[in-house]
Amino acid sequence: MTEQSGWRFSDDRGQQSAAPRPPERVLAYVQAGATLWDLGVRPVGIFGSDHDGSDPDTAKTGTLPLDEVAYAGAGSSLDAERLLAAGPDLVVAVSYGGGHVYGLAPETAKRLEERVPVVVLDVSQARTFAQIGDRFAALARSLGAVDRPGAERELDAARQRLRAVVTATAADAPRVLALSPASPEEAYVARPGKWPELRVLTELGVRVVEPPEGPGVNWATLDRADTFALRPEVVLADIRAHAAPLEELRGSQAAPTPVVPWNPEPLYGPRDHARFLGLVADALEAARVS
């Protein structure tokens, strides 16, 4: 696309944003900003959700240079003026379905969209990890980023290594449990089919444990005893700032198991995803020799 033709991008609500030239000052929800950074787009600012505080949650920021990227805040502290303080010419947000902008009050999102183009990408469970990644990559290319074959090769190598580790452990595959500690006595245990990143693991052959049926679409809420009765041999533990510490949940009685730091709001760039797959492979190998 040439500058003369202008910039256009249709988001996952079916709404088209347009500008005379590709935007250069991108403000993004933290997950989107960190993903775009991995894809070669430097955001000028990021914002959080109601789960976040006055400082950016480093579990979500990937390799973003936080000393160079402004943090506008999160939750009720956000209004349109605060979001526009960095002078963005594009806002990138995410949605978990229905086109609703995650992390912003509807009125704030409406006022923002009256002032600056807003692109909303769907990161809901209705999509595969690859589909979401492709949408971020398409947006990055529209903003002038170039494809990086080296990053894709890293990702392919990480997939191949994880498949090889899974094959080597197939006779006695370690049981992998993804959870978010709620307190020393309770955990939210992820239902693997509801999380695009966990579905990638199961597709690669990883034995991700399914919690019991019951209330909760994405998570099963279990007490400590029921959580560890699932006999995890590898734990994917939510490391976002609002999650409780895993060690408090495990206590001194639980058997030690390899732990993979897990961000349930994953980054969709190839290098970030490759790093996560590599950590899972490391943990499976550690579980095999323990």
Position 1 scores a pLDDT of: 45
254, pLDDT greater than 70: no
211, pLDDT greater than 50: yes
Position 227 scores a pLDDT of: 96
pLDDT band with cut points at 50, 70 and 90 for residue 2 = very low
Query: DSSP alpha helices (H): ranges in the chain?
Result: 30-38, 80-84, 106-113, 129-142, 149-168, 196-203, 224-228, 246-250, 270-289
Position 3 scores a pLDDT of: 45
Position 172 scores a pLDDT of: 87
Neighbours of 88 (CB within 10 A): 25
Position 170 scores a pLDDT of: 82
Span 95-112, pLDDT tens digits:
998 889 999 999 999 999
DSSP 211-261: PPSSS-SSEEEEEHHHHHTT--SEEEEE-STTSPPHHHHHTTTSPP--EEE
Longest CA pairwise span in the chain (Å): 66
pLDDT band with cut points at 50, 70 and 90 for residue 45 = very high
C-alpha distances out from residue 92 to 95, 141, 227, 240, Å: 10, 14, 37, 21
Cα–Cα distance measured from residue 253 to residue 58, given in angstroms and rounded to the nearest whole number? 30
Neighbours of 156 (CB within 10 A): 12
166, pLDDT greater than 90: yes
C-alpha distances out from residue 35 to 42, 120, 258, 266, Å: 10, 14, 27, 9
Q: Which of 225, 227, 135, 223 is nearest to 178 (CA)?
A: 227
Question: Mean pLDDT over residues 44-57, rounded?
Answer: 93
Position 253 scores a pLDDT of: 61
* Encoded amino acid at 40, one letter: G
C-alpha distances out from residue 94 to 75, 102, 172, 237, Å: 15, 6, 39, 23
Position 75 scores a pLDDT of: 83
Residue 188 has which token pair?
A: 């939210």
Residue 244 has which token pair?
A: 């409780």
pLDDT band with cut points at 50, 70 and 90 for residue 52 = very high
- The model's pTM: 0.93
Q: Which of 15, 27, 22, 21 is nearest to 91 (CA)?
A: 27
